[in-house]
């Protein structure tokens, strides 16, 4: 993982040469003003690859068919095993993500990157391969950035201990135009956010980015998209089982989630408000737990014996009689008690459970991925 993990002096800030921004036009996704708005500005020729010091224990690459009708996840495992073990080096596992997608797992970052660049294999089997953004990128926001500074200028002048790969300015629609706001999101090539970024001599604090709550526009439940929804079609107006354009009760508002007198997409919905609050709380809590250092409890010395209590007064003489007193018992180490009393470790466990419960991507949940989450939260 890039960054200053080992303590000591801060790593040097990453500067960009002029070559990094030459030739990047609006046609290529650059960030100059377009129709009174701002387009996201990306690092020119950026391709998502695993960095050398990513700190991961396994490296996943998602693979799909180029043909949208291709169901790679439903292909025969015999066929998939054959082509990947024959033509690709370093594969340790193949996991089904869904009907359209599989995850190819590597133990080395360079073998995963080599596979991503293996156009001959991908073309031969009509496949496309990519790394999910959440594997190597992290997005934060900075506030109170003057709206007259374009995304391209921000990308050119901002510097950080982690490499900046994208700059996006928030906008809002006013009438028929998009108006730029003073909040800007920055995507870093890192698993964690820096504390700040520099704009010349000025320092901006970096805050956690909370993405919008995902709501399905088919069933209007949360945390999944319509293209993967298995629920019934619901109307956002009356909550009936039909498309909203077919609604014959436009004045009878009934939320499909809480049955309240509002649209299913309304922010007035108490269930939606609760989901948004939970999302913000969970992301903030996970971010704090990510940077919290956990100290494990010191184990008790099982050879230490507790002092025996005198059963008789010192003034009374001791008789030479066989002792019937039992030796003091060695205190037992209760691992459950020690774990429960360690607040930092419990917070890391809770953060991992919250992260699993709120998981919205299509990555498969495995023991190794859970272990990665826990290690990340402990760090």
CATH number at residue 74: 3.30.70.330
Domain that holds residue 200: 18-46+137-208
Q: Are 24 and 81 contained in the same domain?
A: no
Asked if the structure places residue 372 within a domain, the reply is yes
Strand, coil or helix: 97 = strand
The pLDDT score that the predictor gives to residue 349 is 81
**DSSP-derived secondary structure letter, 14:** B
In a domain, 294, yes or no: no
pLDDT (tens digit per residue) in 4-61: 333 334 444 444 433 343 333 333 344 444 444 478 999 999 999 998 877 778 999 9
- The CA distances from residue 141 to 32, 99, 197, 218, 293, in Å, are 19, 35, 10, 31, 24
Identify the CA nearest to 127 among candidates 153, 148, 101, 107.
Answer: 101
The residue out of 269, 287, 315 marking a domain boundary is 269
Q: Are residues 222 and 196 in the same domain?
A: no
Residues 204 and 216 in one domain: no
Q: Which two tokens stand for residue 153?
A: 């200028």
**Residue-level pLDDT at 20:** 41
Q: Is residue 324 part of a domain?
A: no
Among 115, 134, 153, give the residue marking a domain's end: 134
CB-based contact 327:58 (threshold 8 Å):
no
Q: What is the pLDDT of residue 329?
A: 54
Q: Considering its fold, how many domains does the chain have in total?
A: 4
Residues 108 and 123 in one domain: yes
Note whether 224 and 202 are same-domain residues.
Answer: no
Query: Do both 73 and 191 map to the same domain?
Result: no
Question: Between the CA of residue 63 and those of 102, 132, 135, 136, 198, what are the distances in Å?
Answer: 5, 11, 15, 17, 37
Q: Is residue 277 part of a domain?
A: no
Per-residue pLDDT in tens (0 to 9) along the chain, 379 residues: 343 333 334 444 444 433 343 333 333 344 444 444 478 999 999 999 998 877 778 999 999 999 978 899 999 999 999 999 999 999 999 999 988 999 999 999 999 999 999 999 999 999 999 998 888 999 999 999 999 999 999 999 999 999 999 999 999 888 888 889 999 999 999 988 999 999 999 999 999 998 888 999 999 999 888 888 889 999 999 999 999 999 998 899 999 999 999 999 998 899 999 888 887 776 655 555 554 444 444 444 444 444 554 444 444 555 555 555 455 555 555 666 666 677 777 777 877 787 777 776 666 677 767 777 777 777 6
Compute CA distances 187 → 76, 193, 333, 368, whole Å: 38, 9, 46, 26
Q: Is residue 351 part of a domain?
A: yes
Residues 103 and 125 in one domain: yes
218 in any annotated domain:
yes
Same domain flag for 156 and 113: no
**Percent of the chain having pLDDT more than 90?**
46
30 and 161 share one domain: yes
Question: What is d(CA 101, CA 71) in angstroms, rounded to the nearest whole number?
Answer: 7
Answer yes or no: do 34 and 150 share one domain.
yes
The reply to whether 77 falls in a domain is yes
Whole-angstrom distance, CA of residue 329 vs CA of residue 345: 30
Residues 82 and 216 in one domain: no
Cα 295 to Cα 32: distance, rounded to the nearest angstrom:
48
- Asked whether residue 105 falls in the same domain as residue 145, the answer is no
Please state, as a whole number, how many other Cβ atoms lie within 10 Å of the Cβ of residue 346. Answer: 13
- For 210-226, how does the pLDDT look when each residue is reduced to its tens digit (9 = 90+)? 888 899 999 999 988 88
- Which of 220, 253, 269 is the endpoint of a domain? 269
Give pTM, 2 decimals.
0.59
3-state SS assignment for residue 121: helix
For residue 182, being part of any structural domain is answered with yes
Determine phi and psi for 39, rounding to 5 degrees: -90, 150
């Amino acid at each position: 993982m890039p960054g200053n993990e080992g303590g000591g002096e801060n790593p040097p800030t990453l500067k960009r040469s002029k070559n990094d921004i030459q030739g990047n036009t609006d046609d290529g996704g650059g960030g100059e003003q377009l129709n009174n708005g701002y387009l996201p500005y990306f690092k020119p020729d950026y391709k998502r690859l695993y960095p050398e010091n990513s700190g991961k224990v396994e490296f996943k690459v998602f693979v799909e068919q180029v043909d949208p009708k291709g169901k790679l996840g439903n292909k025969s495992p015999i066929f998939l095993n054959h082509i990947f073990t024959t033509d690709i080096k370093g594969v340790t596992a193949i996991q089904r993500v869904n009907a359209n997608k599989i995850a190819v797992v590597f133990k080395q970052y360079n073998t995963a990157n080599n596979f991503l660049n293996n156009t001959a294999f991908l073309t031969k089997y009509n496949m496309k391969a990519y790394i999910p953004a959440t594997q190597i990128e992290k997005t934060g926001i900075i506030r109170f950035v003057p709206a007259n500074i374009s995304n391209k200028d921000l990308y050119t002048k901002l510097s950080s201990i982690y490499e900046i790969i994208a700059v996006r300015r928030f906008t809002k629609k006013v009438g028929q135009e998009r108006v730029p706001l003073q909040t800007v999101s920055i995507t870093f090539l890192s698993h964690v956010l820096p504390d700040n970024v520099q704009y010349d001599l000025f320092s901006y604090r970096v805050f956690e980015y909370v993405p919008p709550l995902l709501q399905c526009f088919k069933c209007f439940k949360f945390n999944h998209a319509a293209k993967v929804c298995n629920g019934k079609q619901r109307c956002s107006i009356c909550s009936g089982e039909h498309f909203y354009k077919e609604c014959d009760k436009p004045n009878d508002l009934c939320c499909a989630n809480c049955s309240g007198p509002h649209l299913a997409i309304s922010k007035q919905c108490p269930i939606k408000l609760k989901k948004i609050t939970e999302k913000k709380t969970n992301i903030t809590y996970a971010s704090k737990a990510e940077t919290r250092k956990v100290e494990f409890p010191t184990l008790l010395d099982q050879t230490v014996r507790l002092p025996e209590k005198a059963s008789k007064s010192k003034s009374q003489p001791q008789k030479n009689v066989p002792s019937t007193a039992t030796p003091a018992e060695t205190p037992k180490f209760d691992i459950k008690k020690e774990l429960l009393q360690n607040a930092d470790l419990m917070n890391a466990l809770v953060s991992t459970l919250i992260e699993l419960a709120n998981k919205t991507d299509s990555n498969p949940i495995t023991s190794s991925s859970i272990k990665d989450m826990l290690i990340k939260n402990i760090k």
